[in-house]
Amino acid sequence: MVPLAPKCGVEVEDVNLAEAEGDTLTAIKQAIYTHGVALFRGQADFTPEAHIAFAQRWGGIDINNYFPLTDEHPEIAVVRKRADQVTNIGGGWHTDHSYDQVPAMGSILVARTLPPSGGDTLWAHMGEAYDALPEDLKAEIEGLEAFHTADHIYDEGGLYAKTDMGSDLRGQALKTGATHPIVIRHPQTGRKLLYVNSAFTMHIVGKSREESLPLLQRLCDAATAAENTCRVAWEPGSVAIWDNRTTWHLAMNDYQGHAREMHRITLTGEPLAA
């Protein structure tokens, strides 16, 4: 394994994900829990069927309610930016599904159509972010919880109004909302992780949004310090798998006029605790 950056991400070489199981799968999981994200290049065999089979071997698929799904494979969400679309999906720092009571463990993203250049994805490591907080700030957030929702993004008129995403995609106006500790422990590694994010965290429990914003903003600024991040330039055959508890991510929107399409399967998670 080769680090993608000193504090976030690894590239895993010499693994064919379509065949990965047993000890190889266990080692991949451990690397992702620890480093946050793993990149696999040259995965020509990672067809939609292989993508689904790998996710099932991992432990289960959490189907997202807001993304369009592929016609042939309803387990696969399409992360699409059409050539004439301005807003991309995931263009702000976030962690997937934090608005769910039991957020998805992580995601497996496969490059299917890429722009001629641009469209990179960045991740930030929330264990590193927590560790680097000043001690007085760590003490201030200990034991606090925050409320997360995606309604402002997916509802009619929300951020994704002119994209293929939406809360009425499946014919129902969905509502989201969940409360989680601001600092969680990773269910497998036990590491303390900062668990608020710029996109979905609305307020601190017991405080209004206005009262919460200065502290949330301070945490979000600290979380995305450049030294906590890594960046992937996609190539045909690239696959990235990340841990939503350990990382935030952001998709660059620097390829206006070109299409980009990724296939995403979201992995089932488990309840989060401090």
Which residues form the interface with ligand AKG (CB under 6 A)?
79, 89-90, 96, 107, 109, 121, 249, 251, 262, 264
Provide the minimum distance between the beta carbon of 169 and ligand AKG in the complex, in angstroms, as a whole number: 15
Residues known to be catalytic: 94, 96, 249, 264
Q: Which is nearer to ligand AKG, 96 or 155 (CB)?
A: 96
SS3 54: helix
| Residue 182 · residue 141 · CB < 8 Å | yes
118 torsion bin: left (phi>0), alpha (psi -120 to 50), beta (else): left
d(CA 252, CA 154): 20
d(CA 228, CA 93): 13
Provide the minimum distance between the beta carbon of 250 and ligand AKG in the complex, in angstroms, as a whole number: 7
Strands 10-11 and 37-40, by their bridges, are parallel
Provide the minimum distance between the beta carbon of 25 and ligand AKG in the complex, in angstroms, as a whole number: 22
Q: Which is nearer to ligand AKG, 4 or 109 (CB)?
A: 109
Closest CB to ligand AKG belongs to which residue? 90
Q: Indicate the residue type of 82.
A: R
Q: How far is CA 84 from CA 88, 110, 215, 264, in A?
A: 11, 22, 37, 22
Provide the minimum distance between the beta carbon of 16 and ligand AKG in the complex, in angstroms, as a whole number: 22
Alpha helices in the chain (DSSP H): 22-35, 48-58, 126-131, 135-141, 151-154, 209-223
Q: Which is nearer to ligand AKG, 109 or 215 (CB)?
A: 109
Provide the minimum distance between the beta carbon of 93 and ligand AKG in the complex, in angstroms, as a whole number: 9
Q: Which is nearer to ligand AKG, 37 or 251 (CB)?
A: 251
Which two structure tokens, joined as six digits, stand for 36? 């946050």
